[in-house]
Amino acid sequence: MLSGKTKADLGVGAEASLTPRPSAAPRPTRPRAGRGLGALRRHSILFFLLPVVLYLPFFAYPIGYNFLVSLRDYTLSSLITGEAPFVGLRNLSSVWHDPIFLTALRNTLLFTLLSITCQYVIGLAIAVFFSRPFFLSRTLRSVIILPWLVPGVVTTAAWKWMFNESNGLVNRLLMDVGLDPIGWFSTSSGAFAAVTIVNIWTGIAFTVVMLHSGLQGIPADQYEAASLDGAGAWGRFWHVTMPGLRPVTGIVIILCLIGTLKQFDIVWVLTRGGPGNATQLLSTWSYQLSFGEQAFGRGAAVGDFLFALSLLAAAVYAIWNRRTTR
Partner 1 sequence: MNRRHSQAVGRVLKPIIGVAITAVMLSPLLWMISASLQTRTQLYEIPAHILPPTPTLANFEAVISTQIGSLGTSVVISVATAILSLIISVPAAYALAQRQFRWTGTIVLLLLITQMIPNVMTATPFYLMFSRLGLVNSYPALVLADSTYAVPFAILVLRAFFVEVPAELREAALIDGAGELGALLRVVLPVVRTGVIAVGMFCFLFAWADFVYALTLSTDGSVVPFTLSIYSFIGAQQTNWNELMAAAVLGIIPGAVLLIGAQRYIAAGLIGGAVKG
Partner 2 sequence: MMSLHSRVAIPCSIAMAAVLSLTLAGCGGSSEPSADSDGKVTITVLDSETDEPANSATDALFAHCASNQPGVTIKRVTVPAAEYITKAVQLTASGEAPDILDTDGINVPTLAQAGVLAPIDDLVSSDKINADDYDEGPFSAGSYDGHQYAMPLGNNGEALFYNKTMLEDAGIEPPKTWADLQSAAQELTAGGVYGFAFSMQPGEEATWNWLPSLWSNGGDLDEVNSPEAVEAMEYWTGFVEDGVSPKAQLNLSSADIEPAFVQGKYAMALLGTWTVPGLVKDAEAAGMEWGAVPQPSPDGSPSVTPFGGAVLAVGAKVVTDDAKQQAVFDCLAGLQDSATMVEYADSAGYIPSYHPAATDFLADRPQYQAYADQFASSKSRTGVVGADYAKVSQAISTAISEVATGQKSAQDALDTAQAAVPAS
The residues binding partner 2 (CB under 8 A) are 69, 74-82, 99, 153, 157, 160, 164-167, 183-188, 264-265, 268-269, 271-278, 287-288, 290-296
Among 71, 205, 266, 270, binds partner 1 (CB under 8 A): 205
| Residue 294 interaction partner, one of partner 1, partner 2, none, beta carbon < 5-8 Å per kind | partner 2
Contact between residue 45 and residue 279 where contact means Cβ atoms under 8 Å apart: no
Give me the phi and psi of 273, to 5 degrees please.
90, -10
Instruction: Tell me which residue of 84, 205, 111 sits closest to 152, measured CA to CA.
Output: 205
Contact between residue 191 and residue 279 where contact means Cβ atoms under 8 Å apart: yes
Distance between CA atoms of 8 and 10, rounded to whole angstroms?
A: 5
| Residue 274 interaction partner, one of partner 1, partner 2, none, beta carbon < 5-8 Å per kind | partner 2
Contact between residue 305 and residue 95 where contact means Cβ atoms under 8 Å apart: yes
Window 36-95: residues binding partner 1 (CB under 8 A): 41-42, 44-52, 55-56, 58-66
What residues form DSSP beta bridges with 86?
72
Nearer CB in complex with partner 2: 38/183 = 183
| HSE, side-chain direction, 13 A CA sphere, residue 48 | 6
Instruction: Tell me which residue of 68, 61, 63 sits closest to 297, measured CA to CA.
Output: 68
Nearer CB in complex with partner 1: 95/261 = 261
Window 144-173: residues binding partner 1 (CB under 8 A): 144-155, 157-159, 161-162, 164, 166-169, 172
| Residue 58 interaction partner, one of partner 2, partner 1, none, beta carbon < 5-8 Å per kind | partner 1
Nearer CB in complex with partner 2: 17/75 = 75
Distance between CA atoms of 267 and 230, rounded to whole angstroms?
A: 48
Window 4-43: residues binding partner 1 (CB under 8 A): 16-22, 24-25, 27, 29-31, 41-42
| Residue 185 interaction partner, one of partner 1, partner 2, none, beta carbon < 5-8 Å per kind | partner 2
Window 212-241: residues binding partner 1 (CB under 8 A): 212-217, 219-221
Least Å distance, CB 165 to partner 2, is 3
Least Å distance, CB 268 to partner 2, is 6
| Residue 214 interaction partner, one of partner 2, partner 1, none, beta carbon < 5-8 Å per kind | partner 1
| Residue 147 interaction partner, one of partner 1, partner 2, none, beta carbon < 5-8 Å per kind | partner 1
- Other beta carbons within 10 angstroms of residue 132's beta carbon come to 8
For the residues of 277-297, what is the DSSP string, one character each? TTT--HHHHHHIIIIIS--HH
Which one-letter amino acid corresponds to residue 6? Answer: T
Distance from CA of residue 56 to its chain's centroid? 19
Among 188, 227, 294, 310, binds partner 1 (CB under 8 A): 310
- For residues 98, 99, 102, 107, the Cα torsion angle rounded to the nearest 10 degrees is -110
Contact between residue 227 and residue 236 where contact means Cβ atoms under 8 Å apart: yes
| Residue 276 interaction partner, one of partner 1, partner 2, none, beta carbon < 5-8 Å per kind | partner 2
